[in-house]
Chains A and B, each alone.
Chain A
């Protein structure tokens, strides 16, 4: 069964303390892996799409990487405004539906 698992469920960092969020996936065939950021009560905001192992994408303090089994969202020198829930989703290409992880809730303390 296609599955996406995100870890940790919650992460608390001090401002400037770099870390990584994990998205592990087991799917029959990967067409794309997506990272989103969601603030409380708001719609998910698209961050990155990764298509194949070895690909990397960056945006400000965020960098997404991917292997054949997992993706990482690296946060470098985070700021309090990076506090949000980060969601990972996978397009397995078999029924037009994305498979969503439950997210990692990130809190960055000043």
Chain B
């Protein structure tokens, strides 16, 4: 158990809908990262927040947005969902350091029908 929690574990929705994925980082970690992993694909970095502020951006679609709240939990919002958005979405967290070792949550499996 990494100490990172994600909810829900599974999410099934229809095209065009909007969903929110939630992540709670490990106690003391200030950074939260979001990744997408499609079937047989590598991890795709979406976005990083550090202590409430956006720090780095990856291949995140305009239909997707995220935020980190004062209690450091984070939410990833996915809107106008398409079939191709079906994937595992992982959250990771890290403590500040020379290089930030990321600890991953169990993921949310999103299925868009």
Q: Taking chain B's interface residues, is the majority helix, strand, or loop, or is none over half, making it mixed?
A: loop
CB-CB contacts of A67-110 with B at 8 A, as 1s and 0s? 00000000000000000000100010101111011110000000
Report B99 CB to chain A, min CB distance, Å: 4
Q: What count of chain B residues pass the 8 Å CB interface test?
A: 23
On chain B, the residues within 8 Å of A51 by CB distance are 98-99
Report B14 CB to chain A, min CB distance, Å: 23
Q: What count of chain A residues pass the 8 Å CB interface test?
A: 23
CB < 8 Å: which of B42, B92, B107 contacts A102? Answer: B42
On chain B, the residues within 8 Å of A102 by CB distance are 42
Taken together as a complex, chains A and B put the C-alpha atoms of A93 and B56 apart, in Å, by 12
CB-CB under 8 A for A41 and B109, given A87-B43, A97-B58: yes
CB < 8 Å: which of B48, B99, B103 contacts A46? Answer: B103
Report B48 CB to chain A, min CB distance, Å: 6
- Which B residues from 80 to 104 make CB contacts under 8 A with A? 88, 90, 92, 98-104
Taken together as a complex, chains A and B put the C-alpha atoms of A96 and B48 apart, in Å, by 9
What is the interface of chain A, defined by CB distance below 8 A to chain B?
31-32, 34, 36, 41-46, 49, 51, 87, 91, 93, 95-98, 100-103
